[in-house]
Each structure stands twice: as C-alpha cells, then as structure tokens.
Amino acid sequence: MDNIRGIALVVLSMAAFTIEDMFIKSLTAAVPTGQVLFFLGAGGAVVFALMARAKGHGLVRPFLTMPTLRIRTLGEAVASVFFVTSLSLVPLATVAAVFQALPLAATLAAALFMGERVGWRRWAAICVGFSGVVLIIRPGMAGFNAASLLVLMAVAGITLRDLISRRLPRDLPSSVVSFHGFMALVVVGPLLVWGRGQTLVALDLQQSLFMAAAIGFGVLGYYAIVIATRTADASVITPFRYTRLLFSILIGIVVFHEIPDTLTYAGAALIVGSGLYTFMRERRLARQSAAIDAR
C-alpha cells in the first residue's frame, strides 16, 4: 500500500509542478522574470519557515555553519533563474523534455567529480540521452532556439544541488533546506530585475491569482514528492517522474497551442529511454553489491 500511495503521490507531484510551470509561463508574458522569482521565493519561504518553526527548527544557524547548505542554495538559485527564464522563452514541452536529462546529468557529474564508478553501459546510455537533447535543441539547424540552452544551465544547477544534497547531514530537516532554497529566489529575483534592466509591474487581480496558484502548486508538488520518497521504494516510484513530460506536452498543446514536432518527440523518447535504462542498471548494481556484502 505504501508503494501504491507513493506512485499516486509522485504522479500528483509531477502534475502539480507542471501546473506551476503553466502559471509561471503565463505570468512571464507580462511580468518580469525576476519579479516572478521574488514572489515565488517569498511565498515558498514563508510556508517552509512556518513548517520549520512549528517543529522548533532553527533557520539561520544551519546556513551559517554548513558550507554544503550554502553551495546547495547556490545551485538552487542558478537552476531557478535559468529554468524560469527558459519557461518564458521556450515551448513548455521542450523545457520539460530537455529537463528529463537530469538523471543522466547527475550520473555524469557523479562520475566526473565524485569518483563514482560508471561502466560502459551507463556511459552509452548517457551518450544516447544527450543525443536526444541535441535532437530537441538541434544546434546549427533551422529550428535552433538559443534560449533552449538555458534549460541545460538549469539542469546543471539542479545537478549541483542534488549532488551536494547527498553531503547534507541526515538530521537536517527538509523544511529548513527548502526554506533556504526558496530564500535564494528572494535574493536573485531583484538582482535579475536590476541586471536586465527590467521594470517592475503592479499585478492585477488575475496575475495575483496566478502567482498564488503557482506558489500553491509548487509547495504541493514539493510536499507530495517528499512524502513519496520517504514512504515508498525508490525503485518503484522513480519511473513515474517521467509523467511530468506527458503533462507538459498536454498543457503545452491545450493551453499554449504549442505542437511538438517529430524531432522533439524522438529526442524525448531517447532521453526517457536512456534515463530509465540508467536507473534500472544502477538498481541492479546496487542489488549485486548488497548481495556480495551479505555473504
């Protein structure tokens, strides 16, 4: 039952994140990206600050005393700036498809920077996955959109965040970590407004509702994925993360009238297929290692 509930929570989380993306993309058509980032950060920070304080967790001291938390927060800031900016410039399905290369990027970074052993099969899967990214972005071809490269920068930021997260103390509450991740947006949002010479706008009623919805669905998605990962087996729920791509394609077509072309579908299939293979290969190696240790 825990695994069934975990699957449902992951699918709910992916749907919530996609709806959040929809509202963000709609907002950035008229509201500066830096301003959107600031409000998203402020809203999320308030929610997780209340959660942390309700359980008696301190918020400031961990950030001052843990270099790993500061580096993770930096990765969160970089990822959010590039991700939200890409949403404002690139079709939703394209952003979601390239974003699915994250597990491959994490495996690549772990091999290059953390000494993790990666065999030829997973290297081959990484190459196949990133060839799918090339198919979607298609540099040098007629359909090339330079803004698509922003998604890769977001993937790099999240890869840094996730790798550093492995080094965080196990007793550090998730609410505290999340609070600092959202606070990073409160800082970088105004910097982006200033750096790009953007002009702040007063939100009308519809934009205010969209902003509140984006914050609400973002927090819902995060909370659901945290519960899922803590109560269900990772081997069961991880493949269902790719439902985000399906939701993004559907919303892109219905809401933004963005029709992915054949190359986008082909690239997405390569990314998802290689990602699933890499995950299954890592799970098999983990089982073999556990069996050897048990002897």
Mean pLDDT of all residues in 140-159: 83
Q: Is 57 helix (H, G, I), strand (E, B) or coil?
A: coil
Q: In this predicted model, what pLDDT tens digit does every residue of 204-223 receive, in sequence order?
A: 999 999 999 999 998 898 88
- pLDDT tens for 28-81 read 999 999 999 999 999 999 999 999 999 899 898 888 888 988 998 999 899 999
pTM for this structure?
Answer: 0.84
pLDDT surpassing 80 at residue 17: yes
Q: In the chain, what percentage of residues exceed pLDDT 90?
A: 40
Q: What is the pLDDT of residue 108?
A: 86
**What is the rounded distance in angstroms from the CA atom of residue 71 to the CA atom of residue 78?**
11
Mean pLDDT estimate for the chain: 87
Which residues contact residue 122 at a Cβ distance below 8 angstroms, ignoring those fewer than 6 apart? Answer: 107, 278, 281, 282
Q: How far is the C-alpha of 135 from the C-alpha of 31, rounded, in Å?
A: 31
Residue reference for tokens 């970089």: 78
| pLDDT score recorded for residue 294 | 60
Q: Is 180 in contact with 94 (CB distance < 8 Å)?
A: no
Residues 6+ apart with CB under 8 A from 126: 104, 107, 108, 118, 274, 278
- Whether the CB-CB separation of 237 and 6 falls below 8 Å is answered with yes
* Phi (first) and psi of residue 108, to 5 degrees: -60, -45
Reply yes or no on whether the pLDDT at 6 is more than 90: no
The C-alpha atoms of residue 44 and residue 41 are separated, in whole angstroms, by 5
Look at residue 291 in the predicted model and tell me its pLDDT. 66
Distance (Å, rounded) from C-alpha 82 to C-alpha 161? 14
Question: Cβ(97)–Cβ(267) under 8 Å?
Answer: yes
| pLDDT of the residue at 2 | 75
